[in-house]
Structure 1
Amino acid sequence: MTSTAKLAPRERLLRAAADLFYREGITATGVDKLCQAAGISKKSMYQFFATKDELLTESLTACGPASVAGYFADPAADLTPRERILHVFEHLEKLAAEPDFFGCPFVSAAAELRDPIHPASLVAGRFKQMMTDYFEAHARVAGATDPETLAKQLTIVYDGAAARSVVRATGLDGLSLLTASALLAAAGIHPAGRESDR
């Protein structure tokens, strides 16, 4: 893996911004702290990004794919649609048990900005939609009675579970998996019968 020190200044800044905005918040993270973390000058930062808001938007865009990658099951894996959906919650359960879990970075950013048309909020919304689309696609293949609504419900479960973990400062102890499984069962997607569940 390429060390942070070997990255180009712009890439170091994007990574530092994604990390600090996630761990400490957007408002609490000033330009000085961003530049110090990235090992660059303020002059250099403003050569790359005109404003802190622009840096925030670009950092979400650049680091977003890595944030969501672990949640989605490998397309080549031998999993049923139900298992692919629950993979998201299995990953969430693992992350929520870690001390450096601070919830969904996209929800956190949008909630702090409180501006649905801010460019960073729009980026956050697109990444959240990716998860909903993932749920809907697999729910449809599994034969859910209403895959669109189920996908929205599952997204709400994810967001609520992530928020609960942050507020309680504790893991989820399987709660998100139990809740998601109950929604799948109510939609007619059951664990028994792998072939019929595909």
Structure 2
Amino acid sequence: MLDQETARERALEAAGELFYSRGIQAVGMDAVRNASGISLKRLYQLFPSKEELVLEFLRQRDSRWQRALAGYVDAQPRPEERIAAVFDWLYKWFSEPDYRGCAFINSFGELGAVSTEVAEQARHHKKAFHDYLAGLVTASGRPAELADQLALLAEGAITTAAIFGTPEPAHQARDAARFLMHTHPGPDLPELRR
């Protein structure tokens, strides 16, 4: 018999794959049971409701997504390279064979009107992404409003890539971001000259 943590992780992994590929409302607890190999009784011991499973899936996905983005972007040496790298990372994500858009936009579209907790989790994720972009903009010495513009470019690319099934919107958004950075030049900071 699986220990509590292993069973929980297995259930979350199965639920995450199903929710992301099929949609949350289309996936019942029976499908999660079948995909995870964990009995329905045990699933409900781990997650007393489907909504709790959905919320934990979103929390886990948020954490993994933010870490993966920051790991890629923060490896760039210069502030403006980090901003452009956000869109390069998006291109890699959009190129994944199972890319189906943003899990937070998708979950908000499905459940945002009926679950305040799902809506709040989606808002939390989008705010954390915006705050991350704002930190990159601040580090580049550019005006704060550039972060709002970059966030709109990124969100538009995320949605467009999902709808049209191509990663190209990330490159188009990166080009637009570079144009915006040129229209909002940063001060001549020493770290920009490296």
Alignment TM-score > 0.5, same fold: yes
Q: What is the aligned partner in structure 2 of residue 38 from structure 1?
A: 36
Aligned residues: 189
Which of these residues, 177, 190, 193, is aligned with residue 174 of structure 2? 177
Between the two proteins, what is the percent identity of the paired residues?
Answer: 32
Residue type at the aligned position of 1:18: G
Contact 1:116 1:122 in 2 (8 A): no
Aligned equivalent of 1:12: 10
Partner of 2:125: 127
More helix as a share of residues: 2
Task: Give, in whole Å, the separation in 2 of the partners of 1:63 and 1:31.
Answer: 19
Preserved contact between residue 103 and residue 166 of structure 1 (Cα < 8 Å) = yes
What's the counterpart of residue 3 of structure 1? Answer: none
- Structure 1 unaligned segments of length 5 or more: list them: 1-6
Deviation above 4 Å: which 4+ runs of structure 1? Answer: 73-76
SS at match of 2:118: helix
Deviation, 1:93, is 0.8
The aligned counterpart of 1:159 is 155
Query: Could you tell me whether the CA contact under 8 Å between 2:79 and 2:139 is conserved in 1?
Result: yes
1:171 CA displacement? 2.1
Q: Which residues of structure 2 form unaligned runs of 5+?
A: none
Match of 2:110 among 109, 112, 120: 112
| Aligned amino acid, residue 113 of structure 1 | L
SS in structure 2 opposite 1:70? Answer: helix
